[in-house]
Amino acid sequence: MSILIDENTKVVVQGITGREGKFHALRNRDYGTKIVAGTRPGKGGESIESIPIFNTVEEAIESTGANVAMTMVPPAFAKDAVLESAFAGCELIVCITEGIPAKDEAEMYDIIKKQTKSKLLGPNCPGLISPGKSNVGIMPHEITKKGNVGVVSRSGTLTYEAVHQLTQLDIGQSTCIGIGGDPVPGMSFIDVLDEYEKDEETLAIVMIGEIGGSAEEEAAEFIKNTISKPVVSYIAGVTAPPGKKMGHAGAIVSGNKGTAVAKMDALEEAGVLVVSNPTKIGNAIKEVI
């Protein structure tokens, strides 16, 4: 098993005719992901290396049975693209696009939650990979290994760091997920943790957070009350100055809220093994399993 995607996942790539869309669509297909369609208004009927292009996601789903969308369109059009996939019936939408206005993010989050059954991962995220099964996004599959540890992170590069450490220690992963670092993400830590808890293949969890917001504190409470599997966590931004945005749009400390120390304390109180340095994540997981 794995969560959200597996070897049967069929992907439609929104923006497949763009440079990045084409590159990652073909790269993911080479890995074994079923990239069954792409979309670009006005390009319907064409194809890219045997991948058919449709004008709309609805047409792509009707023709190919796609159930997951990978959205790689410019920020100005991303909200409409995400909502198009949701109303067309995609089970999961993986929005890679960075720089979407917060207002657009809030609107599409609200509409998807209230009016559709779709799950949204991102925006501004690296996507997810179930090693040996499917890769939907921009994660480097070369550093992954099939196994039993779930990895979820707000930071893409720290996801890669944790996964690489695990693989070097011969510890495989069930599904590795970057939820994105924007102020209004689709799936939250809690959403992903809940999926890991229900997944029989996932035996332990790595959760990587950062300063800003309250997602980690909320996740700590959820872990305390719901998660039965061991969790290792790292929180980035211990030395970050208050009031200064650090990398991600959501990584900013306001007053006493959103600090790394507060998040680490909440997680430790919930029974999570919190490491002080990202290089210690792999060995910490090795210890708990």
Domains of the chain: 10-121 (3.40.50.720), 140-288 (3.40.50.261)
pTM value is: 0.94
In a 3-state reduction of DSSP, which class is residue 17?
Answer: coil
- Please give the chain's pLDDT, 289 residues, in tens: 689 999 999 999 999 999 999 999 999 999 999 999 999 999 999 999 999 999 999 999 999 999 999 999 999 999 999 999 999 999 999 999 999 999 999 999 999 999 999 999 999 999 999 999 999 999 999 999 999 999 999 999 999 999 999 999 999 999 999 999 888 899 999 999 999 999 999 999 999 999 888 999 999 999 999 999 999 999 997 766 666 555 665 545 555 567 899 999 999 999 999 999 999 999 999 999 9
Whether the CB-CB separation of 78 and 109 falls below 8 Å is answered with no
Residue numbers annotated as active site: 248
Render 160-218 in DSSP notation, one character per residue: HHHHHHHHHTT--EEEEEE--SSSS-SS-HHHHHHHHHH-TT--EEEEEEESSSSHHHH
Residue 24 sits at φ, ψ, to 5 deg, of -75, -30
DSSP structure string for 74-95: -HHHHHHHHHHHHHHT-SEEEE
Which helix (H) or strand (E) element contains residue 219?
helix 215-226
Contact 32, 44 (CB under 8 A): no
> What is the sign of the dihedral through the CA atoms of 283, 207, 95 and 147?
positive
